[in-house]
Structure 1
Amino acid sequence: MTDAPRVTIAIDAGIADVRLNRPAKMNALDPAMFAALIDAIDRIGGDRSVRAVVLSGEGPAFCAGLDMASMASAGAGVDLPVRTHGLANNFQQIAWGWRTLGVPVIAAVHGIAFGGGLQVMSGADITIIHPTTRLSVMEIKWGIVPDMAGFALWRGRVRDDALRELAYTAREFTGTEAVDLGFALRTSDDPHAEAMTLARAIAERNPQAVRAIKRLANEAVEADAADILMEESVEQAALLRSPNQMEAAMANMQKRAAVFTD
């Protein structure tokens, strides 16, 4: 009997519904989960039909963080400074990879998002969260630092002094507080359903323009004004009078649904 896949992907109408699938362990991160998440990012990145991603967890939690027992031996001897995926190492890629994916990613979060799970959530462009979700920047509990791209992902999003307090103490906070601090966009009693509705709205737009907007949004976090202004111009020049841009304009004028090509 084979184990169930650690991550499932269902693609329909341009939306990839991606679910962490280890519910009996609250989707805790073991070596198989790391490999499955990296594979999911690679698979979606190579599929031009995907226009948006919804990332969630099966069962009672989004992700409880590291499965410490299974990771203790797996992490032995790993050279963390070695980059395996561009800017990131394997551990960082499961969160950072969602940020660098070409299409918008919406995290639908419920139950628990601790430690590495919180960082995976933070890789999404947008997070919709159940108000009673329990979250924690938990690494200090184990005497370590967040090292799955958390600080790079939280920069410009999460209030600095609040982030320091949470990282220094591992204090738990709720989904409601996560919205107030910038970890999430809004709360919902059904985060997955709301995330799918948002994904469908995104998938109806010019996919080339949506991808360009994500590149600009990522660039804006760290680039200076001159570089951002130039990137805006470069992206716009590539879009103007392209087939999908013309289709968007015609559909608006004719008051009909647009039909875009990927």
Structure 2
Amino acid sequence: MSDEQRVRVEVVDGVADVRLARQEKRNALDPAMFEAIVRTGEQLRSDPSVRVVVLSGDGPDFCAGLDFGSFRAMAGGERLSASAQLPPDSGPAQATGQRAAWMWAELEVPVIAAIHGNALGGGLQIALGADLRIVAPDARLSVLETRWGLVPDMTGTQVLPELVGRDVAKELTLTGRFVDGEEAVRLGLCTRTDPDPHAAALALAREIAARSPHAVRAAKRLLDLAGRVDLATGFAAEQAEIGALIGSPNQVEAVTAEFEKRPPTYAEVPAGTSSRALTTIDGRPLSHPRGRPRP
């Protein structure tokens, strides 16, 4: 099955509207879906017109987790996700499921997940790869793996504690209990609720896309560093980024448009170039805050 059949993408005015498109199976994850998700992310990474990504699911659910066929295969010791055909990758996520979740974190542009219905197990872990999560109040979220005799293996064990704290992450993981959207926000699992999360995510994406793409990407890089590097490195990174931005064409345009009280017109960020401001700090190499080596 082609990527286009499992994941649909529409880019309008810098906003990529990405939809998991297997609604007859509640957007469940099988090898073809894993392949489509990863290849879609690679496509977005190389598209300089994309400034923000909105990730959602067609039909009644965001993503109900692994396809039942995967669980049946596990009974015989088989791991179907390993059969997905993916290009090599140099980032920290190497397993198929990990790549499907972590690639959203590694995109240099902001990613907003719009969650409705069920976001369970692997589906929740994919949502955790986003920078922001807008959730319907009645959505159902669960770190479901222990109910199947498994553990989260799509980056969730490393990402979840950062969002909700180690103790809450353990409670959610060890019990596999369900939380609704309201509780998910209280716990820090999601950013905010909205009765129409997809519309809210698109509105937020358009607001972000109206800012300088260089500044937005730099801000994401700096915020991703927080808590992952020492303060001296983080403070030095701030200065490296601000030094690269001050006087740059898009920064000048931001100031000019503000004073002239008109919408700014920004130049796009060429693919593969926007991360170079932080290649080194004080002569020391700096790895990508999410783990991918810099170009």
Q: What is the TM-score with the length of structure 2 in the denominator?
A: 0.84
For 2:293, the equivalent position in structure 1 comes to none
1:248 CA displacement: 0.3
For 2:215, the equivalent position in structure 1 comes to 209
| 1: CA distance, partners of 2:164 / 2:207 | 26
| 2: CA distance, partners of 1:13 / 1:238 | 25
For 1:88, the equivalent position in structure 2 comes to 93
1:3 CA displacement: 9.6
Q: 2:79 aligns with which of 75, 78, 92?
A: 75
Q: Which moved more, 1:193-202 or 1:84-93?
A: 84-93
For 2:155, the equivalent position in structure 1 comes to 149
Q: Give the SS at the match of 1:127.
A: strand
For 1:196, the equivalent position in structure 2 comes to 202
1:77 CA displacement: 9.9
| 2: CA distance, partners of 1:52 / 1:154 | 23
Change (3 A) 1:77 1:138: closer
State whether structure 2 residue 42 is matched by structure 1 residue 33: no
Change (3 A) 1:195 1:77: closer
State whether structure 2 residue 143 is matched by structure 1 residue 137: yes
For 1:228, the equivalent position in structure 2 comes to 234
Deviations 1:188-245 (A, max 9, x none): 0000000000000000000001001111111114111111101111111111100000
1:4 CA displacement: 6.6
| 2: CA distance, partners of 1:192 / 1:75 | 32
| 1: CA distance, partners of 2:235 / 2:155 | 27
1:152 CA displacement: 2.5
Q: Give the SS at the match of 2:164.
A: coil
1:68 CA displacement: 3.4
| 1: CA distance, partners of 2:35 / 2:244 | 35
State whether structure 2 residue 167 is matched by structure 1 residue 165: no
Kept after mapping to 2: 8 A contact 1:179/1:185:
yes
Amino acid at match of 1:237: G
**Unmatched 5+ stretches in structure 2:** 269-295
Kept after mapping to 1: 8 A contact 2:56/2:114:
yes
| 1: CA distance, partners of 2:259 / 2:2 | 54
1:65 CA displacement: 0.5
Q: What is the TM-score with the length of structure 1 in the denominator?
A: 0.94
Q: Give the SS at the match of 2:266.
A: coil
1:254 CA displacement: 1.1
| Pairs aligned (count) | 259
Q: 2:258 aligns with which of 247, 252, 255?
A: 252
- The sequence identity of aligned pairs, in percent, is 49
Q: 1:102 aligns with which of 94, 108, 116?
A: 108
Kept after mapping to 2: 8 A contact 1:22/1:58:
yes
Q: Give the SS at the match of 1:5.
A: helix
Amino acid at match of 2:119: A
**Unmatched 5+ stretches in structure 1:** none
| 1: CA distance, partners of 2:42 / 2:237 | 25
Deviations 1:150-206 (A, max 9, x none): 122224311322211110011111111100111111110000000000000000000
| 1: CA distance, partners of 2:12 / 2:20 | 18
Q: Give the SS at the match of 2:168.
A: helix
| 2: CA distance, partners of 1:53 / 1:213 | 16
Q: Give the SS at the match of 2:5.
A: coil
For 2:49, the equivalent position in structure 1 comes to 49
| 2: CA distance, partners of 1:3 / 1:76 | 18
Kept after mapping to 2: 8 A contact 1:126/1:184:
yes
Amino acid at match of 1:9: V
Q: Give the SS at the match of 1:258.
A: coil
1:64 CA displacement: 0.3
For 2:280, the equivalent position in structure 1 comes to none
| 2: CA distance, partners of 1:236 / 1:57 | 37
